[in-house]
Structure 1
Amino acid sequence: MRKPKRGKADAPAKEEDLSFGPGCFINRELSWVSFNERVLMQAMDTSWPLLERVKFLSIFYNNLDEFFMIRVSGLVRQLNEGVLDLPPDRMTPSQQLGALRERVVRLIERADRCFRDHLVPELEKAGISFIHPALVKEKQRSYMKRFFEREIFPILTPLAFDAGHPFPHISNLSLNLAVILRDQKRVERFARLKVPDTFPRLMPVPLEEEKPLKRMGLSEGGKRFIWFEELIRMNLESLFPGYRVEDSYLFRVTRDADIEIEEDEADDLLESIQEGVDQREFGSVVRLEIEERAPKRIRNMLAENLGILPHQVYPLTPPLGLSCLMELWRLKRQELKDRPFQAFIPKDLSSGRDLFRTVRSRDVMLFHPYDSFSPLVDFLRQAANDPSVLAIKQTLYRVGPNSPVVEALLEARQQDKQVSVLVELKARFDEENNIGWAKRLESEGVHVVYGVPGLKTHAKICLVVRREKGGIVRYVHLGTGNYNASTASVYSDLGLLTCDPEIGADASEFFNALTGYSKQDSYRKLITAPYAMRKKLLDLIDREVQNHLAGIGGAIIMKMNALVDRSCIEALYRASRKGVPVFLIVRGMCCLRPKVEGLSDRIEVVSIVGRFLEHARVFAFYNGGDPRVYLGSADLMPRNLDRRVELLFPLDDRRLRDAVMRFVLLPQMLDRRRAFCLNPDGTYSPPSSDGFDSQMWLIENRGLWHPKESR
């Protein structure tokens, strides 16, 4: 598969309409902040069980860390290098950074109030409390001191900073204490102490009659916790004998973590990616979080040595880095979490059944997490052990640790199958995990490729080649989500199992394009990016306009994670101007302004944030009463349409098309409990407190989209 010529792939399929000025678009970065605000609102929503609210707050902070590491760092680079890569709204990097800081500061204040004023008191009522060091009783303090001396003291490394000691390197997202000391002559000294991440942030405080703390912190019975950094603070004097500890201030640094690899110059892509991952710890600093009570001179000293400006300093109330609250969610307190449910498995896809026979009889659609991920794993295992299976080919983007999918592929190789796997090494923040899987697969004799130079392979496809009585049959799985058994239980995704001959032939040619020398960029049924996907979608939108004008009806429903691409947004604006109704379900960033008179009167946009992460991409077109439905791996963003290998595939089976319309799109269009409505000014109206919840309805009615004989 060839990389598109520079500039050509970025050109819109249709000539830019100059009537769509900057005011027609919402800024991408500010739209992302709005999404994270919706996540925060789940933490404040008392209808969720308590530990689910804690989980949402943890996700909010983790999202914010990644946003600074990738998006804010990119804006800082543009500003420092004088690059003006202006988005459709025409905001400069400086304007965006100013607006983002204002919004983020307000959000963090709300998150802090949510934690301190709401979650902490509710946790205490549930018997889970955070103990202040001053309230630790003497016997408990003695236990904890012995634990500190035995387990923690040996791994701590205080680093001095003075004329003889350079300012130490502060690693990305690490917690640190800025320790202020006085010697016997009352001369002030500064030391940095890194809080090790080899322990949980939340350490259990023992009852007086309990034994000393064990090596690891959290336990099944843990109910009272002290922050790990506070346990260290209680024992700082032992680290600086001969000095008086004046005070200490917690701080945390966020660095640019966006890996840039010049693939044309890299002799070994795997080695280059590994080096890039290692360099994340040394990226330029984009944010300093520090205790708000830290004196200005300490803030300035840290900012100067970290090479940042005052607007990159965020004074906060500790504790910092609250993504660690996920530790609380892992407590075995099921009464404080969502009620578990059993994912559905159709009878003819259950363990022990002949899954090849099932797929030969009908196309199968799986709707995770309401449908179990296990049939797909079983399908791969059957393929691995079936003497009639000749080859398995698959793309892997994010598979997670302890992957049953990878284990099935390894099992297939052990059974002497031809196994080819494209492992995308550039899957952000999963690079190390993927490098490990790639090495293991290669060591077992699997043919591993690392993707197309200059492009990130994001397509989700698996091909199984089987010899049967009538000849070779190709079985294909196509999906909207990753081959990750863990996330399949919390991400809402769709997958198709089929032995359609045309899709099978397309799959073979697609893998040839990925692994060999092939310039093919068009297929019978599959639609690929970066070559054809944008044009296909624009043509489908335009066809709805023509159908509407011809009086045979036009309507568009799209579901995705993000809508950023200017060409697609303008096409939807044109459709709205011609009277075509458009309903968009966009979980995250949306740069389109709906309900603007004369521009987008006919467009409605909602964002559903609930128990499951809405991750499926669905594109549905009325098509004069004969609907066309496509599923795929791509969001409508320039990166997906221009710089990634993506797949879009049709649902040709009317039964499956109807199922997607009735059980995926329609419930979400009717959702009033978890659906936020986007307003023309870029704000979102919150949902009602007692409306229809599409995800809950799907849990209660899981399996309805399968044929009766499968239930």
Structure 2
Amino acid sequence: MNKMYDYPQNFFNRELSWLEFNKRVLDEARNEENPLLERVKFLSIFNSNLDEFFMVRVASLLLPKLFSSHEVLYSCSYRITKDADLDVDEEDAMDLLETMEESLKQRKWGDAVRLEIESNGNVEYFNEILDIIVDEIEIDEQYIFKINGIIDFTFLNKLGSVEGFDELKYEKVKMANIKIPHRTDIFGYIKEKDIFVHHPYESFDIIVDMVKKAAEDPNVLAIKQTLYRVSGNSPIIEALTKAAEKGKQVTVLVELKARFDEENNITWAKKLEKAGCHVIYGVIGLKTHCKILLVVRKEKDKIKRYVHFGTGNYNDVTAKFYTDMGILTADEQFGKDASTLFNMLSGYASPDNMKKITIAPYGFRDKFEKMIRREAENAKKGKKAKIIAKMNSLLDKSITTELYAASQAGVEIELIVRGICCLKSGIKGLSENIKVRSIVGRYLEHSRIYYFYNDGKEELYISSGDWMYRNLNKRVETMGIVEDKDIQQEIKEILDLYLKDNVKAKILKSDGSYEKKQIAENEKRINAQEELVKFTHNKNKSLEKEFSQTLIIPIGK
């Protein structure tokens, strides 16, 4: 950590920054340019976000005709939010699955952290009811919210799925399907070249198809995968169970501590175990948040590894509205690194000699800090130096102070941070070379991209982790280097669109508030997410044309 910049006044408060983010969500509900039912959906998301804020953040401060025979004098609705943060002693747990099941039963008995109550009507009766509730749930007065109106907008989210009323919704967008050339299969295609996938602009089907194909393929010996959050009726789970039933070695890491998905993941873990999969629950004291799939295949008396590593969950439902990216590769070193990762998660190896995948908490922070310092050193020598980073949240104090030092050295730093950002930008003598923007739009920005100019030898990474202490120190995360020049160029063009967005982008001001980017009179309106729909459509049309002109021979058995 660069101590020169490590002063409390150089950082925004985490909770206030999060509330600023949720205000940006509310702004989308107010935005009359959005269709009506989409605005209603943003209002629901705002309410749901606030619920989680109280259940987790406020909770931690407090320590990814019913009465037919009675006369009703007064009635009102009220809503109690309880502490939902689970405290599990992993080290002393004999059976983590059983321990998590018991902990989940205790969640409903958590301390009350918020009371919302309708305040319209007779003041005398209202106060009497309020006193009774407060006595029962033992809540502090500062966490009581008297609301003159609806107290729970989350029900509005269902309106968006009502059939019809298309004029009140976003225009339907068809996701592009990544085409596999004729006369080859997915493994043959990956073997020919790395494949870049960008969701939701490109369909998640290719990932599902890869697992399904691996389950059916007699030459596939093993499938290994991490699962953090999956859908309620997951085709990935179905394919993995089928693979195990066919006698393949299937290893699945199911993260039981994925917040609010614990119960769902326990169910999946049991199903996978019953089918014969080797199910592991991760490393003691760490959440396993990385997104990686490894397929081991026998080809011509050799072992060939195929890897998918990405920024988002293996969830076919959220892949339709979360922006995430991933790469499918048959690169030999990536395969070795992926094998080392799974051996580490199984407890059989340490993550040594990894060359293309970096793992948190083993070297993740050091690598980032070295790359930031390298840009700073280049800037001091008068060389061009630039950092572009896209993530969900930026909270880590050490990384932030390194960015401040780089800014003072003359490094140009562009940050695209959807949610919390504790870094202060545009402060003279501290961060005048740093610009922070947030994009809240139709899709939830979820991809993590890290770019370093490196004196013209550009380095580009995609990752499952943000610049947060928990991602750097308390989770198993992966970051993979992007070496394919075509994929590098595509991701740089994607970043460029985000930096040019003047419709949905809001710029962080020095006081912690966010300001909508102003569009000049003759300036073209650029909505990055809308432009990416066109960008991806054009790319896939070009690929289809290329495939029609190219003969590709199927992979040998």
Instruction: Provide TM-score, normalisation by structure 1.
Output: 0.74
Assess if the C-alpha contact under 8 Å between 1:346 and 1:710 holds in 2: no
Deviation at 1:414, TM superposition (A): 2.2
Structure 1 residues 19 and 627: alpha-carbon distance in aligned structure 2, compared to 1, 3 A threshold: closer
| Structure 1 residue 707: Cα displacement | 9.3
Cα deviation, residue 645, structure 1: 0.4
Counterpart mapping for 1:581-620 below 5 A: 581-620=412-451
Residue 75 of structure 2 corresponds to 248
1:654 paired with 2:485, answer yes
Tell me the equivalent position of 1:344: 176
Find the aligned partners of 1:699 and 1:655 in 2 and give their Cα distance.
19
SS in 2 for 1:263: coil
Q: Superposed, which structure 2 residues align to 1:116-195 within 5 Å? A: none
Query: Would the aligned equivalents of 1:249 and 1:290 in 2 still touch at CA under 8 Å?
Result: yes
Measure, in 2, the Cα distance between the counterparts of 1:54 and 1:289: 21
Q: Check the 8 A contact 1:521/1:528 in 2, yes or no.
A: no
The equivalences for 1:350-365 within 5 A come to: 354-365=185-196
Q: What amino acid does structure 1 have at the position aligned with 2:441?
A: G
Residues 253 and 282, structure 2, Cα contact 8 Å, conserved in 1: yes
Q: 1:280 aligned to 2:280?
A: no
Per-residue displacement from partner, 1:584-627 (whole Å, max 9, x unpaired)? 00000000000000100100000000000000000000111121
Aligned residue in 2 for 1:163: none
The 5-angstrom pairing of residues 372-387 of structure 1 reads 372-387=203-218
Equivalent residues of 1:631, 1:651 under 8 A apart = yes
SS of aligned partner of 2:50: helix
Q: Which of the residues 693, 701, 705 maps onto 2:527?
A: 693
Work out whether residues 414 and 435 of structure 2, in 8 Å CA contact, stay in contact via their aligned partners in 1: yes
Deviation digits for residues 119-169 of structure 1 (CA, Å, limit 9, x no counterpart): xxxxxxxxxxxxxxxxxxxxxxxxxxxxxxxxxxxxxxxxxxxxxxxxxxx
1:199-225 CA distance string (max 9 Å, x none)? xxxxxxxxxxxxxxxxxxxxxxxxxxx
- The 8 Å contact of residues 178 and 203 in structure 2, kept in 1 or not, is answered as no
Structure 1 residues 455, 349: CA separation in 2 closer, same or farther (over 3 Å shift)?
Answer: farther
TM superposition shift of 1:359: 0.4
Q: Which amino acid aligns with 1:519?
A: S
Structure 2 SS opposite 1:327? helix
Shift of 1:461: 0.4
- For residues 487 and 652 of structure 1, the distance between their equivalents in structure 2, rounded to whole angstroms, comes to 27
CA distance in structure 1 between the partners assigned to 2:93 and 2:140 by the alignment: 34
Paired residue secondary structure (2:276): coil
Query: Any conservation in 2 of the 1:533–1:641 contact (CA below 8 Å)?
Result: yes
CA drift of 1:516 comes to 2.4
| Change over 3 Å in CA distance of 1:666–1:659 after alignment to 2 | same
Name the SS for the 1:343 alignment partner. Answer: coil
Deviation at 1:330, TM superposition (A): 1.7
Q: 2:244 aligns with which of 413, 427, 448?
A: 413
The whole-number CA distance in structure 2 between the counterparts of 1:546 and 1:522 is 27
Q: What displacement does 1:353 show? A: 5.1
- Decide which of 324, 334, 348 is 1:493's aligned counterpart: 324
What is the rounded CA distance, in whole Å, between the counterparts of 1:475 and 1:246 in structure 2? 69
Whether 1:467 and 2:298 are equivalent positions in the alignment is yes
Match of 2:270 in 1: 439
> What SS is found at the alignment partner of 2:208?
helix
Aligned position for 1:524: 355
**Unpaired segments of 5 or more residues in structure 1?**
1-13, 78-234
Give the whole-Å Cα distance in 2 for the aligned partners of 1:475 and 1:558: 27
Query: What SS does structure 1 have at the residue aligned with 2:91?
Result: helix
Deviations 1:264-315 (A, max 9, x none): 1111111111122221111001101111136223222211221111111100
Partner of 1:55: 41
Aligned residue number for residue 258 of structure 2: 427
Contact 2:226 2:291 (C-alpha < 8 Å) held by counterparts: yes
Hey, what does 2:536 align to over in structure 1? 702
Following TM superposition, by how much is the alpha carbon of 1:640 offset from its aligned partner in structure 2, in angstroms?
A: 0.7
Displacement of 1:524 after TM fit?
Answer: 1.8
Structure 2 segments unaligned to the other structure (5+ residues)? 546-557
Alignment of 1:210-225 (within 5 A): none
Which residue in 2 is equivalent to 1:314?
145
Moved more, 332-341 or 573-582: 332-341
Q: Distance in 1 between matches of 2:201 and 2:301?
A: 35
CA offset at residue 69 of structure 1? 0.2
Partners of 1:329 and 1:393 lie apart in 2 by 37
% identity of equivalent residues? 45
Check whether the contact 1:424–1:451 (CA below 8 A) recurs between aligned residues.
yes
How is 1:502-541 mapped onto 2 (pairs within 5 angstroms)?
502-521=333-352, 523-541=354-372
Return closer, same or farther for 1:353/1:398 CA change in 2, 3 Å cut-off.
farther
SS in structure 2 opposite 1:420? strand
What is the CA deviation profile of residues 616-664 of structure 1, one whole-angstrom value per residue up to 9, with x for unaligned ones?
Answer: 00000011112100111001101111110000110011111111001x2
- Is the Cα contact below 8 Å between 1:346 and 1:703 reproduced in 2? no
* Contact 2:289–2:476 (CA under 8 A) maintained in structure 1: yes
In 2 relative to 1, CA 526–327 (structure 1 residues): closer, same or farther, beyond 3 Å? same
For 1:668, which of 470, 492, 498 is the aligned residue?
498
Rg larger for: 1
Q: Is the 8 A contact 1:348 1:710 kept in 2?
A: no
Q: Name the residue aligned to 1:220.
A: none
Q: Hey, what's the Cα distance between the residues in 1 that align with 2:115 and 2:132?
A: 12
Distance 2:85 2:181 in 1: 41
How far did 1:667 drift? 0.1
Note if 1:545 corresponds to 2:372: no
Question: Is residue 98 of structure 2 the alignment partner of residue 271 of structure 1?
Answer: yes
Moved more, 52-61 or 264-273: 264-273
Instruction: Give the CA deviation at 1:547.
Output: 1.7
Query: Structure 1: how far apart are the matches of 2:147 and 2:352?
Result: 51
Letter in 1 for 2:345: L
Partner of 2:550: none
Moved more, 480-489 or 377-386: 377-386
TM-fit CA distance, 1:578: 0.5
**What amino acid sits opposite 1:694 in the alignment?**
A
Q: CA-to-partner distance for each residue in 1:447-468, whole Å, 9 max, x for gaps? A: 1011111110000000000011
Q: Distance in 1 between matches of 2:509 and 2:485?
A: 35
What do the CA deviations read for 1:491-512 (whole angstroms, capped 9, x no partner)?
0000010011011001111100
Q: Report deviation, 1:403.
A: 0.5
Cα separation, 2, equivalents of 1:312 and 1:248:
21
Question: d(CA) in 2 for partners of 1:485 and 1:438?
Answer: 18
The CA RMSD measured in Å over matched residues stands at 1.6
Structure-1 residue corresponding to 2:549: none
Mapped pair 1:292 → 2:292: no
Q: Deviations over 1:455-486 (max 9, x none)?
A: 10000000000011261100000010000000
Instruction: Name which of structure 1's ranges 426-435 and 294-303 shifts more when overlaid on structure 2.
Output: 294-303
**Higher normalized contact order (CA 8 Å, seq sep 6+, divided by chain length):** 2
**Secondary structure in structure 2 of the residue aligned to 1:511:** helix
